[in-house]
Amino acid sequence: MNKITVLDWDTVSTGDISKDEIFSDGNITFYGLTSAEQTAERIGDSPIVLCNKVLITEEIMDACPDIRYIGLFATGFNNIDIKAAKKRGITVCNAGSYSTDAVAQHTFALILGHYSKVSLYRDYTESGKWITSPTFSAFPYPMYELAGKTLAVVGFGSIGKTVAKIADAFGMNVIVNTRTKPENCGYELVSLDDAFRRADVITFHCPLTEETKGAISRERIALMKKDAIIINTSRGPVADEQALADALNSGQIAGAGLDVLEYEPMRKDCPLIGAKNCIITPHVAWAPLETRRRLINIVNSNIRAYLNGTPENVVNP
């Protein structure tokens, strides 16, 4: 029977997904969360390791020479030393494209949060202010239509394409910045600087690389329209957080919607705490129940394929 160690189950389930839903043909040990100091001991002689954000470094691999397979509860794999795994013959598999619809949905929740002000109007009615309104329709907070506005999509993978499709339905004008020219793209392709310059809304759906780190920079923010907003549901370090906070607080741009930060959980010294017109959610775009169940199914399928000798979603072939 296969020995399997799950290192950070609590990042996948709050109790709404049963442990029984994980691949059952094995001797499985679950840990809610695992610190760096606990990782090697908990993996021990387990050949199959499942994790979401736990760092599995070359040192961990040296301390746990029986590892043969690392399965990720995620699309990103920057927490795994891929080169070290390949050198040791360890197969690493991620779960791609499981969260496309959820992240696209959350992207527009952040966009609409800025333009439709639903949370502000909910607070308005709950505070009793509508009861004392002299008019039947009270609209103290300015709202705006999405139709006709320019949405710049940075990164045109499955999420970026879905975001563009939703924007079409809203009647937005879509422009795209992407590293590789997509086939049969029906949208105008622009440089990153032009995307910042022309966008009413610029939204990021790119991986974190040396090229994308700090892409939301002080210099590029300076190119933006004063009434434009920034949305980031990709990776926190894509943004220079101090530059973004300064731009928001000075009114240089109109707003931001963020689901990711450079350090997660948020630190007390995060410069975006209290920034003007900034909506921050705690990295939950991927987390609807249906999305996490889809993730579990992909992780299970990856394990079965590996054990059958035909691994899928391998990130270090």
Residues belonging to the active site: 235, 264, 283
- The rounded distance, in Å, linking the Cα atoms of 176 and 161 is 9
**Closest by CA position to 19, among listed 316, 308, 299, 314:** 299
Which amino acid appears at position 97 of this protein? Answer: S
Q: Is residue 234 a contact partner of residue 257, using CB atoms and an 8 Å limit?
A: no
Which amino acid appears at position 175 of this protein? Answer: I
* CB-facing half-sphere around the CA of 18: CA atoms within 13 A: 3
Residue 82 is given by DSSP the state H
The string of DSSP letters for 190-247 reads: --HHHHHHH-SEEEE-----TTTTT-B-HHHHTTS-TT-EEEE-S-GGGB-HHHHHHH
